[in-house]
């Protein structure tokens, strides 16, 4: 739900930028490292907004993946440590899980 709301907000900001640009039909001069060009303001706003969104999205995907991998590794470590513990040392809820694993195995 949270990601849906974030996506809707990003889309609304994108539309807002395009509407702002549509009301301002001026030509903007953009200088590149080796060239120069004149573009309409709505196109420049849309491209810059989209580029910023994509770069932010890539960084977010990288960090989310990194955290998920760390969590998976930590969960495997917890399972290994719990397997080494005697059943009496486990909490009641983990005793039930441990017994269920033994029955299923």
90 CB-contact burial (10 Å; exposed 0-12 / middle 13-18 / buried 19+): middle
Give the mean pLDDT of 1-8: 85
Q: Is 86 helix (H, G, I), strand (E, B) or coil?
A: coil
Q: Give the model confidence (pLDDT) of 40-83 as tens digits.
A: 877 887 788 889 989 998 999 999 999 999 999 999 999 898 88
Q: Which residue has the higher pLDDT, 49 or 91?
A: 49
**Distance of alpha carbon 23 from alpha carbon 21, whole angstroms:** 5
Sign for the CA dihedral angle at 47, 52, 57, 62 comes to positive
pLDDT of 88 strictly over 70:
no
**Distance of alpha carbon 89 from alpha carbon 86, whole angstroms:** 6
Contact 12, 49 (CB under 8 A): no
Contact 39, 30 (CB under 8 A): yes
Write out the DSSP string of 46-66: HHHHHHHHHHHHHHHHHHHHH
- pTM above 0.85? no
């Amino acid at each position: 739900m949270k990601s849906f709301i974030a996506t809707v907000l990003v889309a609304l900001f994108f539309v807002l930028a395009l509407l702002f640009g549509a009301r301002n039909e001026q030509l903007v001069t953009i200088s590149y490292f080796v060239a120069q060009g004149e573009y309409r303001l709505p196109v420049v706003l849309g491209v810059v907004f989209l580029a910023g969104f994509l770069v932010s999205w890539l960084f977010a995907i990288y960090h989310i993946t990194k955290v998920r991998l760390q969590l998976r590794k930590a969960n495997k470590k917890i399972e290994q440590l719990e397997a080494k513990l005697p059943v009496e040392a486990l909490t009641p809820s983990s005793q039930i899980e441990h017994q269920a694993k033994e029955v299923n195995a």
